Amino acid sequence: MDGFLEALNGYVGVVNGIVWGWPMIILLLGTGVFLSVGLRFYTLMNIPYAFGLLAQGRKGSGEGDITPFQALTTALSATIGNGNIVGVAAAIMIGGPGAVFWMWIVALVGMATKYGEAVLAVKYRETDSLGRFQGGPMYYIKNGMGPKFYWLGWLFAFFAMIAAFGIGNMFQASAVANAIAGPVMGHEAGSNLHSNTMLGTGLLLAGLTFMVIIGGVKRIGAVTQYLMPFMAGIYIVAGLFVVLMNIEHVPGAFAMIFNYAFTGTAAGGGFAGGLIIVAMRFGFARGIFSNEAGLGSAAIAHAAAQTDDPVRQGTIAMLGTFIDTIIVCTITALAILTVAVVGPAGDIIPVWQMEGITSSILTATAFGASFPGGHLLVSAGTILFAYSTLLGWSYYGERAAEFIFGIKVIIPYRLLWVIFIVIGTTTFSLGEIINFSDTMNGLMAVPNLIALLALSGVIFAATKEAQAKRKAK
C-alpha cells in the first residue's frame, strides 16, 4: 500500500508541475488583469465602498437562502483556512520569501476575478426542485454561454467535486490532527499514541462537521457568521502583536519579499530549481489555495445570497480575496520573516531558515517565540480555521455533485464527506494532500477562467449600469 501511495504521489507531482506551469500562470494572471482593466480597476478603487456594503449586508434585499453577510462568511469560512497558516509557511519554505510577492499579485488581480465570479453567479443562478438557490461556474457556463457548452460546466463540477476532498477536506483534517497529535502535544510520529490521537481527532472532527452540514447552507451560514469573524479576529490581533514585537525587522522582511521575488531563493539559501518560476509557481499556487480567486468556488456560496443585485454581491465578494491574502496571509508572512530564534550553537537563526521543521510548525514557532503560548494559539487557529473550511467546502462539493447527479446525491455526499475527514487524518501526509489539492485546483480553475473571459462583456455591462445608477442617486 505504501508503495502504491508513493507512486501515486509521484505521478500527481508530475501532473501538478504541468498544471501549474506557464500556461496556467498566464491564464490566471491574464484573466485577472483583463477583468481589472475592463472594469477600470473598479475592485481596487471601491474597497471602502465594499466594506460599507458588507456592514449593510446582515439583512437581505431579495430572494435567496442566506443573507449577503452570511454568503461572505460562508465563502470566507472556506477561504480563510490552513492555507493562511500552513500554506504561507510552505510557500516561503519552498519558494522563498519572494513567493509572498506573487501571492499579493494573484490577490490584487484576483479581486477582479472573484468579483466577476459572484456577479455571474447571482445573474445566472437557478433554484432546484427543493427550492434552494444554486449557482456558480457550472451554472453561468450553462445559462450564460449556452447549452452547447454544458460539457465545460460539467467538467468544472467534476473537478470541483473531487477537489473539495483535497483542499476542503483531507488537507484541513490532516492539519488539525497534526496540530493536536504532533510536537505541540509531544506525541512522536508513528507511535501508537500518535496514531490513536490522529484517529480520535478525525472521528471527533467528523462528528462536529456532520452536525452542521446536515442542515445545509442555512445552518452553515448561521454558524459561520459568528465563527469566522471570531477566529479571524483573534488570529489577526495575535499576528499583529508578533509583528509589533519585531517591528524593527519589518522593513527587512519587505525587502526580502521584493528582492527574492525575482531570484527564486528558497529557505535553505540556495535556488529552488534555480528559476524564478519556482517562487512564482508556489506563490500563485499557495495564493490560489488560500484565497481561491479564479477557482470559482466562492461563487457557489454567493449565488445563495438574498439579493437582487449581482454587482452589489460581487462587490462584497471581492473582499474575500482582500481579507484572506492582503490582510491575513501578509500577517502570517511577516510573523515568519521577522522572528529569529537561538540555534543549537547559540547563534541567532531566522525562523524561516530553520531546518528540520515542517511548514505546519513554522508559523507556530514564530508565534511561540514572540509571546508565551503563541504556539498554542496557532494550534487553536489551525483547528478553528480547518473546521470552518470543512463546512464551507462541503457545500461547494455538494453543489458540484448535485449539478452532475441531481438532488439524490446530497445525503450520500454529506456522509462521504465525513468519512473522508477520518481518511485525511489517518492515511495521507500533508505533502501528498497538498500535491493532490494543487492539481485539482488548477484543473477546476481552467473552465471557470474560460467562462469569465467569454462572459466578460456581461460583467462589464452590469458594472457600468450599476455605477450609473449609483451616481444618479
Amino acid in position 175: A
420 to 4, 81, 106, 325, 374: CA distances (angstroms): 19, 18, 30, 28, 30
The pairing of beta strand 340-342 with beta strand 348-350: antiparallel
pLDDT for 334 equals 92
Is there a contact between 414 and 210 (Cβ–Cβ < 8 Å)? yes
Domain ranges of the chain: 2-339+350-472
User: Residue 309: CA atoms inside 13 Å, Cβ hemisphere, count?
Assistant: 18
Comparing CA positions, the residue from 215, 152, 188, 144 lying closest to residue 461 is 144
Residues 6+ apart with CB under 8 A from 45: none
The CA distances from residue 121 to 98, 267, 306, 434, in Å, are 34, 40, 13, 28
CA distance 79 to 179: 19
- Give the predicted TM-score (pTM) of the model: 0.85
- On whether the CB atoms of residues 282 and 438 are closer than 8 A, the answer is no
Weakly modelled stretches of the chain, pLDDT under 50: 184, 266-275
- The whole-angstrom separation of Cα 258 and Cα 428 is 35
What pLDDT shows up at residue 274? Answer: 47
* Best CA proximity match to 139, nearest among 148, 129, 126: 126
For residues 291 and 373, give the distance between their C-alpha atoms in angstroms, rounded to a whole number.
28
Beta-strand pair 340-342/126-127: unpaired
Nearest-angstrom CA–CA distance, 433 and 172: 10
Residue 40's SS3 state is: coil
CB 291 within 8 A of CB 88: no
What pLDDT sits at residue 298?
A: 87
SS3 label, residue 126: strand
Encode pLDDT of 121-173 as tens digits: 999 999 888 888 889 999 999 999 988 999 999 999 999 998 888 878 888 88
Note the CATH number of domain 2-339+350-472.
1.20.1740.10
Where would I find the H helices in 81-149?
88-95, 98-123, 137-140
pLDDT for the residue 362: 81
**Cα distance between residue 396 and residue 313, in whole Å:** 18
* Grid cell at residue 174: 490532516
pLDDT of residue 272: 44
For residue 351, the model assigns a pLDDT of: 76
3-state secondary structure of 344: coil
pLDDT at 268: 47
3-state secondary structure of 369: coil
CA dihedral (105, 107, 113, 115) in degrees, to 10, reads: -140
Instruction: Residue count of the chain, please give it.
Output: 473
Closest CA to 209 of 437, 424, 359, 440: 424
